[in-house]
């Protein structure tokens, strides 16, 4: 019988493991020759969560063929990881960051999609996208695929993706803003929450025939989506969203201060 492979997942990757396998190395039976990517995903961790793999202390990529007796350490995508502790030549498993942060979300993340659009981020979402379509959109349009489905992130077409941990939409929003360092890129209300189009100021006289009587009477500043032509104004819905945006920013400022 071949010597088993010893593997350890570090830091946030513990999230994907049963309690008894966290914060420690564990053995995996060597059954056949296969890539380390295949081994990692057979344990249940999508390749989109992995940035650094060490085999017997040497940095390797996803194509590395595991060998009996290998000692493998797997590290997550993390801005806080200190690479100076590893060998001089490091192979990053993740592609270069996108020039523009754009998203596509699965069917379960509709509220998060609306929140991301509210903050001005280019976010595709439809409740009839199936898994193959999501993977193709992510690959062809270079969009980060956000999902709560591990298997979707394991599709070979997906290079940019993230497994959303939280289940409450406002917490999901903070999670994504932190993961992708997006707080300085927030541009509230610059995108349509309905269709993802760009919104622009429009003179009231050009749209007043489309306004309800009270809206026309009490409001003078309006914005309209370039794509679906939906009209926005600073009513009670706007004030509630602005309050939420302020809280998101305050929470971030507090966390930064706490880390100093």
pLDDT tens-digit readout, 105-153 = 999 999 999 999 999 999 999 999 999 999 999 999 999 999 999 999 9
pLDDT at residue 79, rounded to an integer? 58
Average pLDDT score over the chain: 90
Got the DSSP string for the chain? -PPPEEEEE-GGGGGGS-GGGTTS-EEE---S--BHHHHHHHTT--GGGEEEEEETTEEE-TTPBP-TT-EEEEEE--TT--GGGS-SS----SPPPPSS--EEE-TT-HHHHHHHHHTT--EE--TT--HHHHHHHHHHHT-EEEES-HHHHTSTT--SEEE----SHHHHHHHHHHHTT-GGG--TTSB-TTT--BEEEE-GGGTGGGS-HHHHHH---EEEETTT--EEESSHHHHHHHHHHHHHHHHHHHHHHHH-
Percent of the chain scored above 70 by pLDDT? 93
Single residue among 85, 100, 131 that ends a domain in this structure = 85
Count up the domains in the chain and report the number. 2
Q: Is residue 155 part of a domain?
A: no
Evaluate if residue 86 carries a pLDDT over 80.
no
Q: Is residue 43 part of a domain?
A: yes
Q: Is residue 257 part of a domain?
A: no
Task: Write out pLDDT tens, residues 53-68.
Answer: 999 989 999 999 999 9
Domain that holds residue 216: 199-233
Single residue among 53, 85, 117 that ends a domain in this structure = 85
Stretch 228-238: mean pLDDT: 87
pTM of this prediction exceeds 0.95: no
């Amino acid at each position: 019988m071949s010597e088993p492979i010893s593997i350890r997942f570090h830091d946030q990757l513990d999230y994907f493991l049963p309690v008894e396998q966290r914060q420690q190395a564990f053995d995996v039976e060597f059954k056949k020759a296969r890539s380390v990517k295949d081994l990692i995903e057979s344990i249940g961790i999508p390749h989109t969560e992995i940035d650094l793999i060490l085999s017997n202390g040497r940095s390797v990529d996803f194509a590395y063929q595991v060998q009996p007796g290998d000692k493998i350490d797997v590290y997550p995508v993390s801005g806080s990881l200190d690479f100076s502790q590893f060998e001089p030549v490091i192979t990053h498993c993740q592609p270069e960051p996108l020039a523009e942060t754009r998203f596509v979300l699965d069917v379960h993340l509709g509220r998060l999609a609306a929140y991301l659009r509210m903050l001005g981020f280019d976010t595709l979402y439809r409740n009839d996208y199936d898994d193959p379509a999501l993977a193709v959109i992510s690959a062809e349009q270079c969009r980060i695929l956000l999902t709560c489905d591990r298997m979707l992130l394991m599709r070979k077409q997906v290079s940019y993706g993230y497994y959303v941990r939280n289940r409450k939409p406002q917490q999901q929003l903070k999670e994504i803003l932190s993961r992708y360092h997006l707080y300085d890129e927030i541009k509230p209300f610059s995108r349509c929450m309905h269709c993802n189009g760009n919104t622009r100021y429009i003179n009231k006289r050009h749209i007043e025939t489309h306004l309800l009587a009270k809206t026309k009477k009490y409001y003078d500043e309006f914005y309209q989506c370039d794509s679906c032509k939906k009209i926005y104004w600073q009513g009670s819905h706007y004030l509630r969203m602005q309050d939420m945006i302020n809280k998101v920013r305050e929470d971030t400022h507090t966390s930064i201060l706490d880390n100093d």
